[in-house]
Structures are given as structure tokens and as C-alpha cells.
């Protein structure tokens, strides 16, 4: 049962406007976090053995087929490290790409958490839809980040 009862039209308007607002605010905040916070290869960011240097993601999710269709959020907010293509081939640039990939992954894990807030003003069915939205629009990006990072870490032997 929502805390606030709203007509369906208002639910649609609020839900449609809330998600871009959430994504933009979190992205703008995430790019201000010092890169040093993403340099350690541990915890959430560590590529696991079962990922087999990214092969898992392509074998079961066919990442290579669709990863280029995902827009780079840095172009939308106008800030951050562009990850749609690797611009440099130096080890330092590739390391920076790995660190920024961790930042992007963090941002998309974080972007799913506000989905729970939608239960405050939505009926159960709409709240569940918001959870589905959060998963549908963030998990694929997390998969792409892990796929790309695993391959780069193998090259860099990180």
C-alpha cells in the first residue's frame, strides 16, 4: 500500500520524470568521486574466475552482439570518461579505462537502489514495474562493463 495515493496520470508523470532525474543526479555525483577509489581490484569490481576473462558474458549473454547499441552516458551528461571506444593504446590509458569501467559499474549498481523508493507512491504492481525497469536498464550495462574490463585486465595482467 503506497504512503501517498495518486491518480494514474500523476503516477505516470512522476515515474517517467523521476528515472532520468535519478540517473543524471547519480551520474553527476559518481563522476566527482576520485579515481583512486576505483583503482583497487577487489570486492564488487574483482573479475571472478567463473567469468573466464569475459568469455562467460559473451557465451551466455552474447554481449558482442548488442554492447555497441548501449549509449555512453558520458555523452548524455557531458562529463566523465567516454567508454564507447578505446581511444588510446598505452598501458596508462587502458588502466584508466579499467578504473572508469569500475566507476560505471558502481554507478549502475547504485542506480538500481532508488527503485525501492517508488513503492512510496506506487501501488504494488507499479512498484514491481519500477524494479523491472531498474534491472532492465542497469544490468546490461553492468554486464558490458564487466565484459570489457575482464578482457582489458587480461591484456594488462591486472
Domain ranges of the chain: 50-156
Tens of pLDDT along 44-59?
999 999 999 999 999 9
Residue 18 to residue 15: CA distance in whole angstroms: 5
**What is the model's pTM?**
0.89
pLDDT digit string, tens, across residues 69-128: 988 777 677 666 766 666 677 888 899 999 999 999 999 999 999 999 999 999 999 999
Amino acid at each position: 500500500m503506497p504512503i501517498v495515493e495518486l491518480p494514474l496520470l500523476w503516477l505516470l508523470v512522476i515515474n517517467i520524470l523521476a528515472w532520468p532525474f535519478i540517473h543524471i543526479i547519480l551520474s553527476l555525483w559518481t563522476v566527482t568521486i576520485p579515481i583512486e577509489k576505483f583503482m583497487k581490484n577487489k570486492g564488487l569490481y574483482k573479475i571472478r574466475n567463473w567469468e573466464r576473462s569475459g568469455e562467460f558474458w559473451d557465451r551466455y549473454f552474447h554481449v558482442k552482439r548488442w554492447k555497441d547499441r548501449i549509449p555512453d552516458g558520458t555523452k548524455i551528461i557531458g562529463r566523465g570518461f567516454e567508454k564507447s571506444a578505446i581511444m588510446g593504446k598505452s598501458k596508462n590509458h587502458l588502466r584508466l579505462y579499467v578504473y572508469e569501467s569500475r566507476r560505471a559499474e558502481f554507478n549502475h549498481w547504485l542506480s538500481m537502489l532508488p527503485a525501492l523508493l517508488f513503492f512510496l507512491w506506487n501501488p504494488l504492481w507499479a512498484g514491481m514495474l519500477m524494479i523491472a525497469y531498474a534491472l532492465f536498464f542497469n544490468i546490461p550495462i553492468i554486464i558490458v562493463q564487466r565484459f570489457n574490463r575482464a578482457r582489458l585486465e587480461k591484456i594488462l595482467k591486472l
